C-alpha cells in the first residue's frame, strides 16, 4: 500500500512540475520573422545547383561561375582556390535575411537582399575529397540574380 501511495505522490509531483513548466512566462517581445521570400529561396536553390554543376565540370568552369556571380560592388579580393573545387550543400532550413552583414573591410553593405545560410563545404582536388567544413555563406539577391560570397578555405 505504501508503494501505491508513493507512486501517487510522485505522479502528482510530476504533473505539478509539468503544468508549472507550461505556464512559465519568458521576458521579452516577439520578433518578426526575417525569412526568405519564396522567389529568393528558389533563386538561391538554383544558385547552389549551378555552383555545384560548375564544379562537376572542372576548375575552370567553376572559376568562371564564381566570376559571373561576384557582386558588382565587390569584384576585388576574391578567393584564390588554385586547383581546388568546392561542392557546397546548403541547409536551406537555416536560410534567413541578414540585415547587418557587410563583407570584411567594407564600409557599406552590398546592394540587394543579403541572406545567410548554413553550409557544408566539400573541398576537392582531382576528384578526391580533401576536407569538409561546416560554416555559413552570405548570398545577395539583386535584380533577380544571386551573387555569392563563398567561404574561402585557402585563407
Q: CA torsion angle for 65, 69, 73, 79 (degrees, to 10)? A: -50
Q: What is the CA radius of gyration of the chain?
A: 24
Identify the pLDDT of residue 27: 59
Flag whether pLDDT at 5 surpasses 80: no
Tens-place pLDDT, residues 29-45: 544 457 789 999 999 99
Q: Report how far residue 128's alpha carbon sits from residue 112's, in angstroms, rounded to the nearest whole number.
A: 36
Q: Which of 56, 49, 53 is nearest to 127 (CA)?
A: 56
Identify the pLDDT of residue 24: 47
Identify the pLDDT of residue 104: 86
Question: Which whole-number Å values give the CA distances from 92 to 36, 38, 39, 121, in the listed order?
Answer: 10, 12, 14, 14
Tens-place pLDDT, residues 114-152: 999 999 999 999 989 999 999 999 999 999 999 998 777
In whole numbers, what is the pLDDT of the chain averaged over residues? 83
Amino acid at each position: 500500500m505504501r508503494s501505491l501511495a508513493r507512486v501517487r505522490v510522485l505522479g502528482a509531483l510530476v504533473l505539478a512540475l509539468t503544468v508549472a513548466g507550461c505556464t512559465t512566462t519568458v521576458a521579452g517581445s516577439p520578433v518578426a520573422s526575417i525569412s526568405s521570400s519564396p522567389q529568393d529561396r528558389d533563386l538561391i536553390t538554383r544558385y547552389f545547383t549551378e555552383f555545384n554543376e560548375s564544379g562537376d565540370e572542372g576548375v575552370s568552369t567553376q572559376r568562371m561561375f564564381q566570376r559571373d556571380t561576384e557582386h558588382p560592388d565587390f569584384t576585388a579580393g576574391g578567393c584564390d582556390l588554385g586547383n581546388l573545387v568546392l561542392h557546397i550543400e546548403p541547409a536551406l532550413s537555416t536560410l534567413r535575411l541578414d540585415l547587418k552583414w557587410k563583407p570584411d573591410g567594407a564600409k557599406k553593405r552590398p546592394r540587394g537582399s543579403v541572406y545567410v545560410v548554413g553550409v557544408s563545404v566539400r573541398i576537392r582536388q582531382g576528384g578526391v575529397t580533401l576536407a569538409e567544413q561546416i560554416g555559413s555563406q552570405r548570398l545577395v539577391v539583386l535584380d533577380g540574380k544571386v551573387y555569392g560570397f563563398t567561404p574561402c578555405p585557402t585563407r
